[in-house]
Structure 1
Amino acid sequence: MAMIKLEHTGVMVSNLDRSIAFYTDVLGMELLGTLDHNTPGIRLAFLSYPGQTAQLELIEGYADELPDEGQVHHLAITVDDIEAEVDRLRAEGVRFLDEAITTLRNGARYIFFSGPDGERLELFQPARG
């Protein structure tokens, strides 16, 4: 079991298509893919710079209104065994925000927990391929 790398930073957006165009056309990122979340109305997009592993996750439909400065939703950490990491962190007294691990339609799995100042953090296990 191990935490492997910084997976992605999730940013809430009001219009996914407009944000994809900005991050690709203006900032030069590559669109890696989109995904409809299990929760109706939430759409995700994943982007990265060529040759880089850390990704930007754009989240549409999570909040009706965003503050003027934008909203970083969470920081995700890739793990190779999500159950083992959940058990390890619970033993350390970490507070989880979700009752259970969520499995997305593509097979990726995640669970949210809190950092010491209430920041949202995510354990993320990619879909096995």
Structure 2
Amino acid sequence: MSDLSAHHVGLTVSELDRAVQFYRDDLGFDVVSRFEVAGEEFSTAVDVEGASGRFAHLDASGIRLELVEYDPSGEETTAALNQPGACHVAFGVDDVGAFVEGLPESVERQSEPQTTASGTQLVFLRDPDGNRIEILEA
């Protein structure tokens, strides 16, 4: 059996260009590549009949973030964070408060930064599609 290694974290988005703009301009990640994938093999792999995808890979300080816009698009889901199947992506910063202050007002925050009982300061944001983003002091 081959050894596993981390490759990317993927998020499905409704409009790739809007999502790239958010992650590039608002969060400061670099776009590494953009590409499209289609065909029977792709449809079979993702288990979506007739699927094609537009992709963008971004460098999120050592994590490759993959954004993908599918055609056809599926139904929107917004599971609460404590429900099985819910997901989020997390990024560390030196100062959560300063990071949040530097964000454009248009970036949705679930709350103001909080310090948990374990001493971790964190805040959850949402991207334009409602994907959860945790920002914590690392």
TM-score range, shorter chain: 0.3 to 0.5
TM-score, normalisation: structure 1: 0.45
TM-score, normalisation: structure 2: 0.43
Q: Which has the higher contact order (CA 8 A, sep 6+)?
A: 1
